[in-house]
Homo-oligomer: A and B are copies of this chain.
Amino acid sequence: MSYVRDAWYVAGWSSEFDDSLKRVVILEQPVVMYRATNGSMAALEDQCPHRLLPLSKGKRIGDDIQCGYHGMTFNCEGRCVRVPGQDNIPASAFVKSYAVHEKHNIVFVWMGDSRDANTDDIFDLPQFHSDQWHAHQGDALHLKANYLNVAENLVDPAHVSFVHPTTLGNSASENVPVHVDTEGEVLVAWRWIRDAPPVGFFQKFGGFEGNVDRWHYYYLHLPCTAVIDFGSADTSRQLPEELRDEGVRIFALHFLTPVNEHYTIDRWMHLRNAAVGDEAASEQMDAMFRVAFNEDKEILEAIDEQEQLAQNRKPIRLAIDKGPTVYRKRISAMITQAE
């Protein structure tokens, strides 16, 4: 099992961090994170190089961390600044320091060599910067599942008819083929379901009276960020693809953080062009998302358990699998290239 290390991963919402020492595990690497006195984030390898005690078990001394076992002290850059009981500091007395950056109230960590980190590469969307759009942070969904399985679920419009029949999908979409574009850096899978009753989500939030045209666009930014652009408009409007902003349009964002081979955190939030500024609507949408994402969780955790049983044949591949298949190949190539 390997991971793409040269990438920005989400360690948490900004609100999850303060001056206390917080241990997070990303790509099987323990990281201790905290805010320095000037409010900026620090991220260090969470293990003292002496006896291996997690530094998160120690305490803050100003902006430094003092190990809780023998008092070795490291600054924000991971350099040892004190070894109690001796004057010289060994050259090997350091811990890895991670590049860390906050954007849109989200804390991103670069899991590769910090010298290769470029904050320009951090995920962004124009809608984050528009006052026509409302951004709202949801929860962290913890899944006992491999991140590849979680991610492929996020470039897979076909599952919503069956997994989310009361919220994000309904039977009208069951047989509608999926389009896939894997040419660019971002994988896209999408389909339109035209002239059908609105799904549960838009029954509740759209105010539609008759049939709607509904779209689902799944954008997968490798390795681990997904944007699901979904929305509806009255069928009578015959809305073309490029005018989706004129309908009720929602971007569900998923930031996947692989913890280990069988554990992934999915931090989800949304952006919307409706009910801007209405926090009660945000809460209601979160409630509906929670129902839907827990349906995904049940599926993905059952698959993880099943995959651990001995298998005597290869899984079959269907037409709807093009997005997931290309995704896995790309990840595999990124890991191989980095080695």
Contact = CB atoms under 8 A, between A and B. Distances in A.
Contacts of A302: 53-54, 57
Contacts of A86: 177, 318-320
B163 A69 contact: yes
Nearest to A72: B318
Contact of A53 (B30, B299, B316, B320): B299
A53 B303 contact: yes
A69 B298 CA distance: 10
Contacts of A159: 69-70
A224 B267 CA distance: 48
Contact of A52 (B50, B67, B83, B315): B315
**How many copies of this protein are present in the complex?**
3
Contacts of A149: 51
A84 B316 CA distance: 14
A307 B85 contact: no
A73 to B, nearest CB: 10
The dominant DSSP class at the A interface is loop
A309 interface: yes
Interface residues of A, number: 51
A303 B149 CA distance: 32
A257 interface: no
A67 B52 CA distance: 46
A316 B49 contact: yes
A162 B69 CA distance: 6
A162 B67 contact: yes
Interface string A284-311: 0000000000000011001100110111
A119 to B, nearest CB: 26
16 contacts: A30-B306, A50-B315, A51-B149, A52-B307, A53-B299, A53-B306, A57-B302, A69-B159, A70-B158, A70-B159, A71-B161, A72-B318, A85-B320, A90-B318, A92-B313, A93-B316
